Amino acid sequence: MKRLIISIFSITLSLEAFSLCVANYPKEYINLKTILTLNSTTTKIIKKTTCDNISGESNKDKLKNEINSIVQNQTNSMNWKGKDRHEVGVMLNQCIPKKTSKALVITFAGTDAYNPRTYSLMAHLIQCKNYQKLPTWLKKKTYTLIYNSLKDKKSSYTKWAGIERGPMNMFINDESLNKYAKNFDYASFASEESEIIANPNKMKNYGVSAVLKEFITSTAGIPKGIQAAHACTKKYFKEAKRLGITPKLIVMSHSSGGRSVVKYLEQVKKYDVSLEASLVLTIDPVKEAHEAIKEVAGQKVSNTVDDYNPFTDNKHKSPKVWSRKQPKSLYKTSNAKRWINFYQSKDNKSGDAGFMKFGIAGSPISKADANHFIKDDLGKKPHGNITYHEKTLEVIKEEIETLFN
């Protein structure tokens, strides 16, 4: 127990120490030029093979086999060796518009939920005519079929992702919404601020300097996911201008992606003050992952100390990322035309930092156009289940339809 207390204190103090070094660290550690010059050949190939492999026949077993084929084709179409999750995302994202493009959808995943392979395949299926021939009951199984296929292949990208399970799945199965969504382009990015937090098992492969880099760049607000999203946005709207079209910018996020949205839009504002996000949809937003861990670690230490204190009743609450107003970190940016937020406060066990489990409650967005507090029918894991809650999806659908009508 003493070792646990020491470990938690060490983590908390180390994170604080890293924060003090921000001013002395370079403001960029991703080669944006490389990201901007990557072509979309791989994405086009994968999209074609994806659509070509879908027959449109209403048969669950046949669709399962077709999903397995498109997952395998995606694997075969890419050279995965030596590529980290950010590079894979860059290769799969749709950062180049078409003449028919109506919007760029930028998505930030929750902590340890970045799954660019699933997101990309779902984006392609949203746009496939044959897939839209399927009945709604069958299309609703899209996310589960892709997730299970990756799981069966023991892919490192088998991560449960709230945005894919909720909004992206709805973009596929809801016919009235798909008529808009099929003309969107999609790009997803990691939001957790450290590769170590995303995968604690990698800690053994990190040296001190690498760990320092991870947390400093996070504190400075320039993690890889946000840099890549910014680069994608610049590339997309530059090409849109050349094509003579004016697509909208839509931003979606879950969990720690909420804070990433704020940082991303602040960066966009510095690059182009005229570019605005027409619609921002944040689901159960929380602050950066490393900040959330500091918050629950402090509670864990306090609870552990109480356990050994004979003068307390030892009836303490479980560690939790608490729901509250955070106007300095979770707020509507000036370049967001409309911001809709969804949050809950019931979750008690969705978080897992390896050395402890904790609850994750989302927070309201300061000055948002609407903060929808959802309290019922959230199941055993409210922080994840809220992404596909009936109310969440209903409001998102209304907002998309209103935006394009």
Tell which wins on pLDDT, 381 or 42: 381
Q: What is the mean pLDDT of the segment spanning 20-29?
A: 40
Average pLDDT, the chain: 81
The reported pLDDT for the residue numbered 213 is 60
The stretch 151-173 carries a mean pLDDT of 89
Identify the top-confidence range among 36-40, 188-192, 370-374, 375-379.
370-374
Instruction: Kindly tell me if the per-residue pLDDT of 8 is higher than 60.
Output: no
Give the model's pLDDT for residue 83: 72
Name the residue type at position 40. S
State the Cα–Cα distance between residues 315 and 317, nearest whole angstrom: 7
| Amino acid 103: pLDDT | 98
Q: What secondary structure does DSSP assign to 207-239, as a single string?
A: -HHHHHHHHHHHHTT--HHHHHHHHHHHHHHHH
pLDDT tens-digit readout, 186-202: 999 998 656 556 665 55
With cut-offs at 50, 70 and 90, classify the pLDDT of residue 53.
confident
Given a cut of 80, whether residue 265 has pLDDT beyond it is: yes
Mean pLDDT along residues 294-323: 59
- pLDDT value, residue 38: 52
Determine the pLDDT at residue 355: 59
Strand order in the sheet with 103-108: 184-189, 103-108, 248-254, 279-283, 339-343, 370-373
Task: State mean pLDDT over 87-116.
Answer: 92
| pLDDT score of 352 | 67
pTM for this predicted structure: 0.84
pLDDT of residue 139: 94
pLDDT value for 5: 40
For residue 394, give both structure tokens.
Answer: 């209903």
Residue 49 scores a pLDDT above 70: yes
HEC assignment per residue over 286-337: CCCHHHHHHHHHHHHHHHHHHHCCCCCCCCCCCCEECCCCCCCCCECCCCEC
Strand ranges, E, within 46-193: 103-108, 184-189
Q: Are 319 and 296 in contact (CB under 8 A)?
A: yes
Pick 141 or 353 by higher pLDDT: 141
pLDDT band at 56 (very low <50, low <70, confident <90, very high): confident
Neighbours of 246 (CB within 10 A): 10
Cross-strand partners of 248: 103
On the question of pLDDT at 170 being above 80, the answer is: yes
Lowest mean pLDDT segment, chosen from 29-33, 121-125, 134-138, 218-222? 29-33
Task: Convert the pLDDT of each residue in 174-186 to its tens digit.
Answer: 999 999 999 999 9
The per-residue pLDDT for range 201-236, each reduced to its tens digit, is 555 555 555 555 655 555 555 678 898 999 999 999
Higher model confidence: residue 122 or residue 306?
122
Task: Report pLDDT for 25.
Answer: 36
